Amino acid sequence: MFIDAGGVCRRIFILACVSVVTACASAQAQDEAVRGNREGSLVVDGRTRTYLLHVPEAYDGTHPWPLVIVLHGGGGNAKNAQRMTGFSDLANKKGFLAVYPNGTGRLADRFLTWNAGNCCGYALDHRVNDVAFIRALIEHLQKEFKIDSRAVYVTGISNGGMLAYQLGCELSDKIAAIAPVAGAMNVDVCLPSKPVSVIAFHGTEDRHVLYQGGWPLVYYDRHERKDNSVANAMAHWVERDACDTRYQEMERGDVRVKTWSFCLEGTEVSLYTILGGGHAWPGSTAEKMWGDPPEIGRISATDIIWDFFDRHSKRDNS
């Protein structure tokens, strides 16, 4: 019996090529499914917590990427935070992962709040442990993606800014820098185990979280609260990071910038005061959700925050 060895070999070769192409196509499809916006969840303290993650097209898992956690304000949600800040667009340009966690509330996807010191709403009423949630979220994403453990950052506005301050206090082993916007640091005890860089933004005419501290002139929460001043927060972090108490100051139009340098492990503390500014994200073009109209045309908090984060990774995360 004659056997066409050449034909058999050709068929085996073709089948092998088809298998390789199929495997490559499958891997490519899997990679594409990972990129872009994706919603996720995890269970923390018996409660299902959700988040929106943005993975840029350039992410290929070959090297560690920074992670930026963006916290919505009280009454907002993850999608609102994404629209308002524009961090996903910047992530595509600069190369980092952006995650937008959801707070908690009576509804699953709106009117959500964070438990941050003395604020706010449902999360405060139910003593939700949002610090544990953010820690679990970081560790969860570190298992799924190649994340630079030295470059995990947190920013947020209003109630989210308050939680950003608290996370700097309680998750300093995980977080390299925080960027609170229009938030007060109202935690009773702040004893970070490692230095944390801080950049804050606050308008002098903010009526929801007063620049000078005190009882808000406008608030929607049934809980009355008294906020600490912006100066109080800056003084705390200057002391904790052991910075030189002499600061550099400059003005850019109606924006005053104070910077405290020569801090522990290369950290830095910086304050952007928006003269005449209200309760808003500087540079936002998103619709008004709460507080004051977007601060357009002064500065872009998103760009400045990323530049600050990019310069302040942890020197030692052991």
Residue 304 resides in a domain: yes
CATH number for the domain spanning 196: value is 3.40.50.1820
Residue 15 resides in a domain: no
Residue 8 resides in a domain: no
Domain range enclosing 159: 34-311
Question: For residue 257, with 0-12 CB atoms within 10 Å meaning exposed, 13-18 middle and 19 or more buried, which class applies?
Answer: middle
- Residues 305, 178: Cα–Cα separation, whole Å: 9
Predicted TM-score (pTM) of this structure: 0.87
Residue 11 resides in a domain: no
- Residues 194, 225: Cα–Cα separation, whole Å: 29
CA 18 from chain center: how many Å? Answer: 44
- Residues 83, 161: Cα–Cα separation, whole Å: 17
Residue 109 has what pLDDT?
87
Give bridge partners of residue 248 from the DSSP assignment. Answer: 259
Residue 54 resides in a domain: yes
Residue 287 has what pLDDT?
54
Q: Consecutive 10-residue runs of the chain (318 residues): their mean pLDDT? A: 45 41 39 73 97 97 97 95 96 98 94 95 96 98 98 98 98 98 96 97 96 89 87 98 97 95 97 95 71 75 98 80
Question: Cα dist. 315→64, 164, 180, 318 in Å?
Answer: 15, 21, 22, 9
